[in-house]
């Protein structure tokens, strides 16, 4: 948890603040990226914040499972955060 509660507030950030979201299934290894167009569609369908988005995400390759049984690594990239140049 970050100082000042910043980490705990990430779930309340709006979907429209996201640049993209990278998703990896820890069970089968399938990965995908939700780009801005996908995120806009989610917002149009009523998904308002990052927490709600994470509850909706599932692996397209694995059989459907309840949210508590999903093993996904979800990495958000926010519009206002600088890109880490060490990864480039």
Between CA 48 and CA 62 the distance in angstroms is: 26
- Looking at residue 66, its pLDDT comes to 81
- Where does the pLDDT of residue 11 fall: very low under 50, low under 70, confident under 90, or very high at 90 and above? very high
Between CA 19 and CA 16 the distance in angstroms is: 8
Average pLDDT over residues 12-28: 95
Between CA 71 and CA 2 the distance in angstroms is: 24
The residues spanned by each domain of the chain are 9-79
Enter the tokens of residue 61. Answer: 């390759």
Give tens-digit pLDDT for 32-77.
999 999 999 999 999 999 999 999 999 989 998 887 788 999 999 9
Instruction: Give the residue, 43 or 80, on which the prediction is more confident.
Output: 43
């Amino acid at each position: 948890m970050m100082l000042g509660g910043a980490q705990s507030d990430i779930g309340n950030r709006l979907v429209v603040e996201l640049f993209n979201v990278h998703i990896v299934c820890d069970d089968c290894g399938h990965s995908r990226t939700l780009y801005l167009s996908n995120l806009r569609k989610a917002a149009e369908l009523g998904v308002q914040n990052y927490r709600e988005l994470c509850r909706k995400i599932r692996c397209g390759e694995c059989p459907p499972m309840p949210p508590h049984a999903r093993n996904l690594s979800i990495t958000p990239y926010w519009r206002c955060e600088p890109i880490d140049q060490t990864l480039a």
